[in-house]
Amino acid sequence: MQRKRLTLKDLAHQLGVHYSTVSRVMNPATRHMVAVDVAARVMQAADDLGFRPNRVAAGLRTGRSRLVGVVLPDIGNPIFPSILWGLEQVLAEQGYVPIVVNVGADTQRQRFIIDQMVGRQVDGLVLATAERDDAILDHCVKEGIPVVIVNRGEDIGRVSCVVSDNRLAMRLTVDHLVGLGHRKIGQISGPHTLSTGFLRKEGFIDAVKANGLKKAQWVSIDSTAYTREAGQVACAALLDRLPGLTAIAASNDLVALGCYDVLRSRGLRCPEDISVVGHNDMPFVDALYPALTTIRIPLREMGAHAGRLILQRIAEPASDGVSIVLRPELIVRGSTAAPAAEGKVSSAKVAAAKSTLAKT
């Protein structure tokens, strides 16, 4: 015969404390309201007796499931674990649990998954899938679902978002390359439908113009995705479009890996023939050969901000949207150097330039 499920009242009765005390201890968001020794005794007793809170019943009482849906476009992209880490830590402090789903780029699947999550009463959504003009986001806003977007933004700015400063990232990249002596620079931007791709392209164009490069000295090509394979296709096109280029600014580190592949296939060396700069500083790019110079984004901080924003939106659905823009950092490694045409530049001067830029 199945044993009767232990309730909060049962646990309170066995401990000889009030029901509300046990209720507060079982909720991470209110546990601090109970004396530490009492909370420890309740938690130990709950563990000994095999007590598990009935979240369905609690949700019916409070109208909250304490679940947050997190929708990712590509769970294989190495930037997302760090974002999830920061997000989960903040949610856990308030007794919330993230439900993470990988949806790809198919908008019909995105709509289906989001409707399924809402049907299962998630309290809010964190979307890493948003496009600049996003029908899925339209749907969430119309349905009144608390939502925050992370890593990407939208053109209208209707909801809270946490992003990195993509324009500044391109300025840091181009200033670094020009400082090393490069005068023919190509960029592989991301898809123009995404804020990251659009703003990195705009930032690159602004930066090359600010550095006095003429139109014949630079070119920007869109990649179809933030993948190694898309980077290979775009890099091949870039080399054909701008003969004699000496540096490439890639839209992310996976795209930069695609550039490495194409350079090797064409017998070109990095950085001796062509320097490469990535974006995101994903894990292990420092172990590549050559180690990748890249733009570091505070990904864990980005996730933590997203966690705080979705909790605020859940608590205050009518609150104004907040846009948080985080500052990127240039990390100089072995994939960038003075161009071959400028080979007379002393190694000491190049090293000094790298050291200075790494501190900016």
| Listed residue (67, 97, 100) closest to 81, CA to CA | 100
Whether the pTM exceeds 0.85: the reply is: no
pLDDT at residue 60 is higher than 90: no
* Residues 11, 13, 16: CA angle, nearest 5 degrees: 110
pLDDT at 226: 94
Residue with the bigger pLDDT between 63 and 309: it is 309
* Averaged pLDDT for residues 176-200: 96
As a whole number of Å, the CA-based R_g of the chain is 25
Among 49-58, 128-137, 284-293, the range scoring the smallest mean pLDDT is 49-58
pLDDT over 60 (residue 355):
no
At 150, which helix (H) or strand (E)? Answer: strand 147-150
Confidence band, pLDDT 50/70/90 cuts, at residue 351:
very low
Per-residue pLDDT, averaged over 222-228, amounts to 94
Q: Nearest-CA neighbor of 81 among 250, 228, 280, 259?
A: 280
185 has a pLDDT exceeding 60: yes
pLDDT given for residue 109 in this prediction: 87
Residue owning tokens 């110079």: 293
Strand-pairing partners, residue 98, are 68
Tokens of residue 52, six digits: 């598990």
pLDDT of 347 > 60? The answer is: no
Residue whose entry in the numeric block shows the structure tokens 């072995």: 334
pLDDT band at 54 (very low <50, low <70, confident <90, very high): low
Three-state DSSP at 326 gives strand
Distance, C-alpha 110 to centroid of its chain: 18
pLDDT in tens, 117-166: 888 889 999 999 888 888 888 888 888 889 999 999 887 778 999 999 99
Is the pLDDT confidence value at 80 over 80?
Answer: yes
pLDDT in tens, 236-283: 999 999 999 999 999 999 999 999 999 999 999 999 999 999 999 999
Q: What is the mean pLDDT of residues 213-240?
A: 96
Contact 261, 234 (CB under 8 A): no
d(CA 260, CA 256): 6
pLDDT at 84: 96
Q: Is-contact 207 175, C-beta < 8 A?
A: yes
103 touches 126 (CB < 8 A) = no
Instruction: Name every residue whose Cβ is closer than 8 Å to that of residue 73 and which is 6 or more positions away in sequence.
Output: 102, 103, 104, 105, 128, 129
Query: What phi-psi label fits residue 135: left (phi over 0), alpha (psi between -120 and 50 degrees) or beta?
Result: alpha
The number of C-alpha atoms within 13 Å of 205 and in the hemisphere containing its C-beta is 11
pLDDT of residue 282: 93
Closest to 136 measured CA to CA, from 283, 120, 152: 152
Tell me the three state secondary structure of residue 105.
coil
Q: Mean pLDDT, the chain, as a whole number?
A: 87
Lowest-confidence segment of 18-22, 76-80, 108-112, 202-206 by average pLDDT: 18-22
HSE value, Cβ hemisphere, 13 Å, CA-based, for 15: 28
Query: Angle at which helices 253-265 and 228-241 pack, to 10 degrees?
Result: 60
Q: Are 317 and 144 in contact (CB under 8 A)?
A: yes
- In the three-class reduction of DSSP (H, G, I as helix; E, B as strand; rest coil), residue 159 is classed as coil
3-state DSSP assignment of residue 161: strand
Token readout for 128 is 């890493």
Alpha carbon distance 38, 25 (integer Å): 9
Chain centre to alpha carbon of residue 88? 13
Task: Please name the helix (run of DSSP H) or strand (run of DSSP E) that holds residue 275, with its range, or none.
Answer: strand 275-277
Average pLDDT (187-196) is 94
pLDDT at site 345: 36
Q: What is the CB neighbour count within 10 angstroms for residue 258?
A: 23
